[in-house]
Each structure stands twice: as structure tokens, then as C-alpha cells.
Amino acid sequence: QSALTQPASVSGSPGQSITLSCTGTSSDVGGYGYVSWYQQHPNKAPKLMIFDVTKRPSGVSNRFSGSKSGNTASLTISGLQAEDEADYYCSSYTANSTWVFGGGTKLTVL
Amino acid sequence: VQLVQSGAEVKKPGESLKISCKASGYSFTSYWIGWVRQVPGKGLEWMGLIYPGDSNTRYSPSFQGQVTLSADKSISTAYMQWTSLKASDTAIYYCARREVGATWFDPWGQGTLVTVSS
């Protein structure tokens, strides 16, 4: 199972909206509505931000939203804040009943 | 709900190791525990998961045969073990909870750094 494809880095200014992409195949992202996104600050454990493509866990800001089109899922962060600077990983359930992660995107808030 | 992992380990190639993930705040036997590897400076890799209720396990093909997952219901603790470590096993290992039927992992443990060096 190959890792999902994410851009290595994305940057934005405070207040802007940015979108992170996550591309897979019909055996994972495209075949299921089971994409999740995790935020990881340096030297910290990952934190769930989005699950089942569009759902937000309790306590996660509504500035974070998810979507999917075909084999590509997206995470949009609106009203970018300094605290959003982190690594973001997408993950998908797969046809093999396993999970696969993306390579991660480093978000820099300018 | 909390997952607390065992402390950092420094091992030599060929040695064995068992790291732990202690759960609290929920019914340990009613949720899966997943394991994820992160090589320093690299991304996340899904390794496998275990259902402590019946010790049912599922492994990533990449890690099948390389590690063994287990759980002790009496002390609400999940384990991952190696019989013969390699330098390439150097990484941070995270455990994370998965609700039955869910496709996400939440929450995560704080991670255990395993360093394998001669």
C-alpha cells in the first residue's frame, strides 16, 4: 500500500485560507468516505482534526473543514492563525482493511 | 480518556524489546488500539492494531512478521514487541485508540522513542 500523496509544504499569512491536498487511489481515498486528518506540532503526538472526510471532533475549531473529490481529499483552514503552524497528515481506510497515511504537509504561517 | 506509553529505550541491534501503552478512562476491551511508526523527521506509518477484547489483530503488510501486538486486559495495557531489533527500527512509536467501526484514531499516546544503535 503506497502512501497517500501530500505536498511537502504550504504557507499562508495570518487571516488567509489555505487548502491542503491528499491524493490516493480508488482503493483508498476514492473508494471510501473514510479520510481523516491529523495535526502534529513539533515533538507532540498527532491530534485528530477531521474524520470521515468532513466531520469535526468536539473541540476542534470550525476553521478546519474537509472535503473530497474523486481520489483527492482536502483540508481547508480558514482565518489562518500562528498556532495552526504544524505538520498535517491525511489518512485513509483502505480496501485491504488497513490504513494508510500521507507523507505529511508542513504548514508555515508567514 | 488517556493513553500513556512507556519511556524511551536505547537498544543494540539483535536485542528484543517490548513497549507498552496503558489505557485509562474508558473500557479497554471495547476499543481497538492501533500502532503508528514515525521515523525522526519523517511521516506517519500505520503498523497494525489489536482488539483487547479478544486479541484480534490486524497488521500492515509492511510490518507483518516484524512486530507482535498483544494486550493484557487485567491491567488495560497494550504492547508491541520485537524479537530482534534492527537499526532501521529507530523511530517514535505511537499508540492510538480506535472505536469499533470507526475509521479514525483518537486519542493518541505521547509516543515512545526507540533508538537502536551499536
Report pLDDT digits (tens) over B10-39.
999 999 999 999 999 999 999 999 999 999
| Cα angle A52, B26, B44; round to 5 | 45
Of A57, A96, A101, the CB nearest to B45: A101
Q: Tell me the per-residue pLDDT of B31-52, one tens digit each, with 9 for 90 and over.
A: 999 999 999 999 999 999 999 9
Give the pLDDT band of residue A2 (cuts 50, 70, 90): confident
Q: What average pLDDT does chain B have? A: 97
Q: Which residue of A has its CA nearest to B42?
A: A103
Contacts of B91 (CB under 8 A, 6+ apart): B37, B38, B39, B40, B113, B114
Which residue of B104, B106, B108, B112 to mutate against A (max A Cβ within 10 Å)? B104
pLDDT at A56: 98
Shortest Cα distance, chain A CAs vs residue B71, angstroms: 20
Q: Are strands A99-101 and A47-50 parallel, antiparallel or unpaired?
A: unpaired
Cβ separation of A104 and B43 shorter than 8 Å?
Answer: yes
Give the whole-angstrom CA distance, residue A38 versus residue A7.
Answer: 15
Mutate to test the interface with A, among B36, B51, B56, B103 (most CBs of A within 10 A): B103
Per-residue pLDDT band at A5 (split at 50, 70, 90): very high
What is the model's pLDDT at position A33? 84
Are A7 and A54 in contact by the 8 Å Cβ rule? The answer is no
What does the pLDDT read at residue A10?
A: 97
- Note whether B61 contacts A104, CB cutoff 8 Å: no
Does residue B34 belong to the interface with chain A, where contact is any CB pair within 8 Å?
A: yes
Residue of chain B nearest A104, judged by CA positions = B43
3-state secondary structure of B73: helix
Chain A residues with CB within 8 Å of chain B CB: 1, 3, 32, 34, 36, 38, 45-48, 51-52, 57, 89, 91, 93, 96-104
Strand blocks (E) in B17-89: 17-24, 31-38, 44-51, 56-59, 68-72, 77-82
Q: Is the pLDDT of residue A1 over 80?
A: no
Centre a 10 Å sphere on the Cβ of residue B14 and count the other Cβ atoms it contains.
11
Q: What pLDDT does residue A32 have? A: 87
Q: Reply yes or no on whether the pLDDT at B78 is more than 80.
A: yes
Average pLDDT over every residue of A19-45: 95
